[in-house]
Amino acid sequence: MDRAILDAAGLDTADALDRMMGSEALLGRLLGTFLKEDTMEKLEAAAAADDPVAGLEAAHALKGVSGNLSMTRLYELTSRQCELIRADDWPAARAMVPEVAAAYQAIVDAINTCGL
């Protein structure tokens, strides 16, 4: 596990490892599971369908997993997106999807680069 690559992509590895009681193996397994989730696809589909209910569900799920795995940039973006949807500003939340997708892809690329 190359911590520098993961950190550069927006994953706070020190915090994540604290959550995992120092277990790189556990963190690696959880990051592998993250790659198999389709939450980002659901968020993009909700935006394409102009569906704020599905958008909130997907953004909230992505917020939860990114928070638990210390993916700070992705967590910050999805937190803001959830706030916007709850404030009935779906157009602004939907407009954030490309930025969320870029943060998500940075994490995915880093995990793949590390071979996890």
Average pLDDT along the chain: 95
Stated pTM of the model = 0.92
- 35-85 pLDDT tens trace: 999 999 999 999 999 999 999 999 999 999 999 999 999 999 999 999 999
CA distance 76 to 78: 6
Q: How far apart are CA 33 and CA 109, in angstroms?
A: 14
Q: What are the boundaries of each domain within the chain? A: 3-113
Q: Any idea which residue has 């999805």 for tokens? A: 78
Angstrom distance (rounded) from CA 82 to CA 89:
10
Q: Which CATH number fits domain 3-113: 1.10.10, 1.20.120, 1.20.58, 2.60.40?
A: 1.20.120
Backbone φ and ψ for 88, nearest 5 degrees, come out as 65, 35
